[in-house]
Amino acid sequence: MPEKSIIEEKCAPYGFKALGVFTIEAEDKVPVKGGVSAVLIGNYGGEMFDRYASERDPLTQTMDEWTQQVIDPLAKELNATALYPFSKPALPFQKWARRAKAGRQSPLGLNIHPVYGMWHGYRAFLIFDRQVTLDVPPGDEHPCFGCEDT
């Protein structure tokens, strides 16, 4: 089974999707020694929220805690290291998402996904010690170029 299919198969039951990938370079400053590829795991639509709402204790478990509870075992199973946008110190998730072709920066500084627009979220990067390729949606045209200045 191709690697993309394996990643998507493991993520799908939780409403997570592989949104993009990039080959790690020194200037990316990914804090995982030996990292070769970074796969962005995120969500769009309501699937992840439905799963989250049905599994967590609403009085004690945050979305960040639930995300880590789900992604850490997936990362281990895929022989990857998980990094989170809520990690301390903060990691440049928006910059990495743009490297993964999972968004373009709007004039307001927000990332806009080439297919899902603003309706997506970044939940983790899986760092692999090998080259990983994914078919990502075309994102060559900046989504803001069609907007009028008002």
Largest CA distance in the chain: 50
User: Over the stretch 102-134, which tens digit does the pLDDT of each residue have?
Assistant: 888 888 888 888 888 787 899 999 999 999 988
Domain boundaries, the chain: 3-146
How far apart are alpha carbons 5 and 43 in whole angstroms?
16
User: Please, how many CA atoms are within 13 Å of residue 2, restricted to the half-sphere of its CB?
Assistant: 7
Rounded Cα distance between 14 and 23, Å, is: 26
Average pLDDT value over all residues in the chain: 87
Alpha helix positions (H), the chain? 3-11, 47-55, 63-77, 93-99
Q: What is the pTM of this model?
A: 0.87
Tell me the per-residue pLDDT of 87-101, one tens digit each, with 9 for 90 and over.
999 999 999 999 999
Residues 55, 136: Cα–Cα separation, whole Å: 30
